[in-house]
Amino acid sequence: MQTNKMNDSNSSEKSQMNLEEMLHLYWKEIQDLKKEVERLKTPKLMYRRPGASAHEKITDYLDDVDKRLRVLER
């Protein structure tokens, strides 16, 4: 009978340890997701114009295109 209690105790400890490990993994995953969400709040989508050697922010490119179109529409 004592062997069953030991097995139950060991099983309980293993379950508890597994639960703690799982919680730790979930906590880390949540932290990683929070970092990713923060990063996505300020996207840095880049574009390289044909013939250009450097990339630029897509917003800068679109602003430039908008200015040039407005000049052409005059």
User: For position 4, what pLDDT does the model report?
Assistant: 60
- The answer, yes or no, to whether residue 3 has pLDDT greater than 70, is no
User: For position 57, what pLDDT does the model report?
Assistant: 92
For the whole model, what pTM was predicted? 0.46
Return all residues near 49 (Cβ < 8 A) that are at least 6 apart.
Answer: 56, 61
Q: How many residues does the chain have?
A: 74
Residue pLDDT, tens place only, 31-56: 999 999 998 888 789 999 999 999 99
| CB-neighbour burial class of residue 63 (10 A; exposed 0-12, middle 13-18, buried 19+) | exposed
